[in-house]
Structure 1
Amino acid sequence: MENQHVDTWKEMIYPALQSKQEELEMLGYEQATPEDVWKCLCVKIWKGEPEKRLHEIVQDIFHLKSSIYLSYLTIQSYENDDLAASIEALIGNSPNTGE
């Protein structure tokens, strides 16, 4: 098969994403979802919008290490905390809150 943008293959490789999600759950990452696995690959492995062959994408999924997934989750947690703090600061300083 030819090289295509990774998003093109997403629906076709969904069973591989589910398999990796199940593996991560067995390792203690109960919150893992196929979508999180996909996002992790996009951010940590593929970085950008690469074109790959189908077998390369499946290989990347099955070779994704739990340490890389943990690193991704950690970064997401910090980003979400920063976002939550920013929203709270905006709401807390809003003149409509009556504070």
Structure 2
Amino acid sequence: MEVIQKASEWKEMVDPALESKAGEFHLMGYEKATGEDIWKCLVQKVWKRDPDMRLYEVVSDIFHLSTNIYLSYLTVNAYKDDDLMASIAALTGEDAREN
């Protein structure tokens, strides 16, 4: 019997795969990658909504997630960060309130 449900409903079941993918990213030098970040990346960049999926499709998408897509997700979220100007100021040593 094939079970099809919303991608979000599979999250708890695929946590080991998410942690495995985070471990893979750690080995590639992305040490701050987490299973939760990878899940959010899939939801926002790969699935775009909450599609009906089979378990093997969700797991396949997790293991096929490329670092390019993940880094794109992180970059876009950094730009959305409310504290972006403060982050830039901290990096450059400037006072964010001067601008």
Band of TM-score, shorter chain: 0.7 to 0.9
- Looking at structure 2, the residues matched to 85 and 67 of structure 1 have their Cα atoms a distance apart, in angstroms, of 22
Which residue number in structure 2 is paired with residue 37 of structure 1?
38
Give yes or no for the alignment of 1:64 onto 2:65: yes
Q: Which runs of 5+ in 1 are unaligned?
A: 87-91, 93-99
Contact 2:18 2:62 in 1 (8 A): yes
- 1:45-72 Cα offsets, whole Å, 9 max, x none, are 0001111000000000000001100100
> CA distance change for structure 1 residues 69 and 85 in 2, over 3 Å: closer, same or farther?
closer
Which residue number in structure 1 is paired with residue 16 of structure 2?
15
Q: Give the number of equivalent residue pairs.
A: 86
Which residue number in structure 2 is paired with residue 50 of structure 1?
51
Secondary structure of the corresponding residue to residue 31 of structure 1: coil
Give yes or no for the alignment of 1:3 onto 2:4: yes
Aligned-partner residue type, residue 75 of structure 1: V
- Looking at structure 2, the residues matched to 77 and 16 of structure 1 have their Cα atoms a distance apart, in angstroms, of 25
> What RMSD in Å do the two structures reach over aligned CA positions?
1.6
Aligned-partner residue type, residue 26 of structure 1: L
Which residue number in structure 1 is paired with residue 94 of structure 2?
none
Offset of residue 27 of structure 1: 0.9
- Looking at structure 2, the residues matched to 54 and 38 of structure 1 have their Cα atoms a distance apart, in angstroms, of 14
- Looking at structure 2, the residues matched to 7 and 57 of structure 1 have their Cα atoms a distance apart, in angstroms, of 10
Offset of residue 2 of structure 1: 1.8
Offset of residue 84 of structure 1: 1.9
- Percentage of pairs with the same residue: 51
Secondary structure of the corresponding residue to residue 52 of structure 1: strand
Which residue number in structure 2 is paired with residue 97 of structure 1?
none
Q: Which runs of 5+ in 2 are unaligned?
A: 86-96
Offset of residue 85 of structure 1: 5.6
